[in-house]
Amino acid sequence: MPPRCRQVLAALLESVSSDIAGHRCLDLSANGLGGAWFDARGVAWSDASRLRPHDRFALVVCELASIDLGLEHLDVEGVLLVFVSTNEAAATWLTQRNIISRASVRSAEGNWFLCARRPVLTPTYEVSLVVPCQDDARYLAPLLLHLANDPGEVTWELVVVDRGSFDETGALLRSLQGDVRVIHRPRHTLQADALDVALHACAGELAVVVDPHLIPAPGWLPALTAAAAASPEALAFLGQSPAEDGERLLPLLAVRSAPYRARGGLDPTLATEHAVSDLLCRLGTPRLVPALTADLGQPIDAARTG
Confidence of residue 306 (pLDDT cuts 50, 70, 90): very low
Higher pLDDT, 302 or 244: 244
Please say if the pLDDT value at position 19 is more than 70: no
Q: Are residues 145 and 272 in the same domain?
A: yes
Q: Are residues 157 and 229 in the same domain?
A: yes
Q: What is the pLDDT of residue 249?
A: 74
Lowest mean pLDDT among 51-60, 116-125, 282-291: 116-125
Please say if the pLDDT value at position 11 is more than 60: yes
* pLDDT tens figures, 187-228: 988 999 999 989 988 999 999 999 999 999 988 999 999 999
Higher pLDDT, 10 or 297: 297
Mean pLDDT throughout 129-155? Answer: 89
CATH number at residue 10: 3.40.50.150
Q: Are residues 284 and 168 in the same domain?
A: yes
In the chain, the percentage of residues whose pLDDT exceeds 90 is 35
Q: Are residues 153 and 300 in the same domain?
A: yes
Question: Closest Cα to residue 102, out of 117, 87, 124, 122?
Answer: 117
Please say if the pLDDT value at position 148 is more than 90: no
* pLDDT tens figures, 77-106: 788 888 888 766 555 676 667 788 877 777
Please say if the pLDDT value at position 303 is more than 50: no
Rounded (to 5) percent helix, strand, coil in the chain: 35, 30, 35
Please say if the pLDDT value at position 43 is more than 60: no
Q: What is the pLDDT of residue 54?
A: 79
Please say if the pLDDT value at position 294 is more than 80: yes
Number of domains in the chain: 2
Q: What is the pLDDT of residue 82?
A: 87
Supply the range of the domain harboring residue 233: 125-305
Confidence of residue 56 (pLDDT cuts 50, 70, 90): confident
Cα separation, 163 vs 187, in Å, equals: 5
* Listed residues 85, 117, 149: the one ending a domain: 117
Q: Are residues 86 and 206 in the same domain?
A: no
Sheet of strand 24-27: strand arrangement: 44-46, 24-27, 57-63, 74-85, 110-117, 99-106
Q: Are residues 226 and 282 in the same domain?
A: yes
55-84 b/e with 16+ CB inside 10 Å = b?
eebbbbbbbbebbeebbebbeeebbbbbbb
Amino acid at 193: D
Higher pLDDT, 144 or 23: 144
Q: Are residues 15 and 60 in the same domain?
A: yes
Q: What is the DSSP letter of 250?
A: -
Mean residue pLDDT of the chain comes to 81
Where does residue 42 fall: left (phi above 0), alpha (psi -120 to 50 degrees), or beta otherwise?
Answer: left
Q: What is the pLDDT of residue 165?
A: 93
Please say if the pLDDT value at position 132 is more than 60: yes
Angle at CA 291, nearest 5°, toward 289 and 296? 110
Q: Are residues 53 and 149 in the same domain?
A: no
Cα separation, 113 vs 121, in Å, equals: 23
229: part of which helix (H) or strand (E)?
Answer: helix 220-230
Q: Are residues 96 and 29 in the same domain?
A: yes
Q: Are residues 129 and 111 in the same domain?
A: no
Q: Are residues 213 and 138 in the same domain?
A: yes
Mean pLDDT throughout 176-183? Answer: 84
* Listed residues 117, 150, 170: the one ending a domain: 117
Report helix, strand or coil for 182.
Answer: strand
CATH number at residue 278: 3.90.550.10
Q: Are residues 239 and 108 in the same domain?
A: no
Q: What is the DSSP letter of 207?
A: E
* Listed residues 59, 82, 117: the one ending a domain: 117
